[in-house]
Amino acid sequence: MIETIVIGLICVCLAYLGRYRRLSWGFGAAMTILFVFLAIRYEWGNDYRQYIDKFTVYNSIDEFNYSDPNERWEDGWIFLYRIFKPFGFFSLVIVLTAFEISVYYWFIKKYIPKEWYLFAVFIYVFNPNFMLTQSSMMRQTLAMCIVLLSIPYIYKKKVIIAALFILFASLFHSSAKILLPIVFLGFVNWRMGKKGVIIGVVLFFAILLFKNIVTSIIENTLSVTGLGKYTYYLEEGKEESKLESGIGFVYQIIIMSMILYYEKRQDRKDGLIFKITALSFLFVPLGFIAQLIARIGMYLQVSMIATYPLMIRTINNRIVRAGTLFIIMFFTIYDFFSFFNSEIWRDSFIEYHTIFESFIWR
């Protein structure tokens, strides 16, 4: 945990320097450090051991039945294993990390003013739904980054190209298929504002009230889209997920409402990012029902890295602006430390390890 905090703070400071013309290299330096930090990780994350074990298993089989119903591993991911067989699993992680950090670098540069680079880096590092969790779920992280690349084409209303990106992402994590309807968001020109807030809050609570119906619809959708192999997540969620009623729950509703309200002050390009982020909040109550649904929401949450800085920038009242910034940072830090104290994540993340601790190149 200490290593993550130190690296994170260094990168936030470097991103801050990137706002100055003579120090514009600061943001690039910050992302480079994050690349190195993640590229050389070893036994860091809940799923790391499973990924490295499967790399050995799949590459030891001359012929593999890709339609094996007992496996959740997608064809695209297994194909990556095959490609990197001569180079080793560590090489695969390094290349994937380079691609993913490059996508985030591009996304932040494209959508966020340089004055807010530091806040974007802060969200990426310290919000556990991003760098930390994504370093564990390698398949979905790759899929999420590919989906992120589809956003400019959604904005330009190039539906086919955007859909191809999402379908390509589904080769590495099948859940990406469920996101195909978002390719039509570029045609939604309605500005949100107060009406959007009302609709968003109503939908949020409607999902909670009719959660059984929603769950049934999702189960049918999984079956139709060929994602039946993930239904065990639904059962797991029914047993373990509980709705936490408290200040954190209220925080989610308030932030979603603010995003919907301030969407009307954005241009159409940034407004699309706001709409995608607002949709991600509707997966919050769904995530209380099942783990898989929360994972689907993570695809849309990625846009939050741009939405938060853009939203705060457009708040005219200085007190409200400072208060919103403080609240978001407070809950981000709170979630960060809760992550490392969680029974689920603590043992796998509390100590950072590097590939140099391995006796062989895996």
Q: Provide DSSP, 197-234.
A: HHHHHHHHHHHHHTHHHHHHHHHHHHHHTT-GGGHHHH
d(CA 21, CA 15): 12
Cα 33 to chain centroid, rounded: 20
pLDDT over 90 at 319, yes or no: yes
pLDDT at 98: 97
More confident residue, 134 or 213: 134
Mean pLDDT, rounded, for 84-111:
95
pLDDT over 60 at 243, yes or no: no
More confident residue, 14 or 361: 14
Task: pLDDT band for 125, please (50, 70, 90 cuts).
Answer: very high
Candidates 353, 305, 292, 8; CA nearest to 145 is 305
More confident residue, 34 or 239: 34
pLDDT at 62: 66
Least confident of 98-102, 210-214, 273-277, 356-360: 210-214
Task: pLDDT band for 240, please (50, 70, 90 cuts).
Answer: very low
More confident residue, 249 or 125: 125
Q: What percent of the chain has pLDDT over 90?
A: 48
Q: Which two tokens stand for residue 252?
A: 């989610």
Beta bridge partners of 210: none
d(CA 3, CA 36): 13
Mean pLDDT, rounded, for 75-97:
92
pTM of the model: 0.87
In tens, the pLDDT along 282-298 reads 777 666 555 566 677 88
* Cβ-contact 279, 298 below 8 angstroms: no
Task: pLDDT band for 241, please (50, 70, 90 cuts).
Answer: very low
pLDDT over 80 at 145, yes or no: yes
Average pLDDT over the chain, rounded to an integer: 84
Q: Which residues contact 225 (CB under 8 A, 6 or more apart)?
A: 174, 177, 178
pLDDT over 70 at 221, yes or no: no
Candidates 32, 247, 7, 296; CA nearest to 132 is 7
d(CA 126, CA 137): 17
* Cβ-contact 144, 135 below 8 angstroms: no
In tens, the pLDDT along 185-204 reads 888 887 777 787 888 888 87
Around Cβ 150, how many Cβ atoms within 10 Å? 23
Candidates 358, 240, 250; CA nearest to 291 is 240
pLDDT over 80 at 127, yes or no: yes
Task: pLDDT band for 26, please (50, 70, 90 cuts).
Answer: very high
